[in-house]
Chains A and B, each alone.
Chain A
């Protein structure tokens, strides 16, 4: 009955499917393949089963990297989400300043990752950089290349500077979609600023904030360029997060099997976290719907 229904659409989808297969599925399968084999030079492989997996999971080094990764991700989420919402709340809802604010907010998002790293690297240099000079000038012993705490501080400030805008823009989009009548009703009901936020703005922003948190989670969990450009994971291993460790294993030590297994575990962690978070948020969303 519906055979003529939009059959043409498939022709447009096919190239995309092919593209996805080449740049996502096939590489992924290759990694799966590596993760269960031992490789020697000259393309000689042995099947190893789950050996690499158990090795990775039991390694102190992996756990440490994962721990650093989790601390980093949750720290920036804890800063960027509330800060982003706060900035969005302060932005004007109409008038000429709207576009000015939006452009200012969008600026950091337009700068490539490695450039951000380079900018902050120079900006924070204790002897040359403005930030480093000022901090040292006012009495802090600040040197991100030597002190782990300073490296962390720089990394987090950098990420917050770079990505809070994304949360701001999403939260702002959620905010301006709230009809005026809600604010007027709240005024009439004598609601405090906090009550307006808690009962009108926050519920109406929930969907976009879910998206914002998901995006920021996934992206920060996979952060590589910034710590790499800043200190290459140092000082010591202090900023060696998962992706940096992975590259060290794969390209530094050329442990292809171990790196592959680690990649898969890494991938699954991101997948499971995102999935659980999304389902929990959306289940609440549907509650009371009928």
Chain B
């Protein structure tokens, strides 16, 4: 059993508050990703879990045990750092063994552990090299190997892939996912890369200014973002946020948006509860539409909106089409060669995927 509970944890440096009552709890085998821009407090939180930073208030429990006052080595954790933090003067083998040596593990056992980890990460041939003789990806493996041999209750990863180039990052991402599947250890993983969060996590905590904005499964975070901030942070290109007005006619709820020089367009069948519909009827709201929820109106289907295309950006598998709507720049992801710049395009919207936010609080309304 290796659960992690973060219970109303606070951190402040003097009057500067970095974390404000953060509460997260995950179960054994979960893969928690702390996602947010730099300065949101995610790394501080990770360091507090590791015991490298002190806790100002609240409690952190690992496997049910309060660890607030335990030093890092007594918390039964292992950590992989962004810069890998390999000891530069030691060989790969010595790097992996260092912690075991300190804990007084006998040489034969150490040797066995090193061999197991090296096999698992396919780096047996690197054991006698120095870190400076390794490539970025190999260093990353060694850092993971060093963490694995501890057999910890909790793995902590601090932006482990951000020093790698794009191609290697994808490979290592898969590697980490495979490792998690194989070992089943609980993992806390810090990143600012939303794709890493989406691909790796079983639970994502999106953070901003020391506050958790949303804690949920990645798909839920993607489909039903808690607020405009999360909506824009997760997904690339990010979710379009279009100012509009909520209209109710009988049981049909629509969002009305402006198209420049063409008057208004009505997106009908937005999924909100009757109470919300009543409360917001006729009021200004923000309409959130993911780029891929647009499509070209074909055949008999009546287009939801007809727009003048500004820019077309082919990406290969599909094309990003940019146009304006209620003063906001909107991006639609469409199949290639279906629209061209300066021409008009007739688009449909997958209404079931549309998300509505309060215009003032920017929180999602259901």
Binding between chains A and B: no
Using a CB–CB cutoff of 8 Å, the interface residues on chain A facing chain B are none
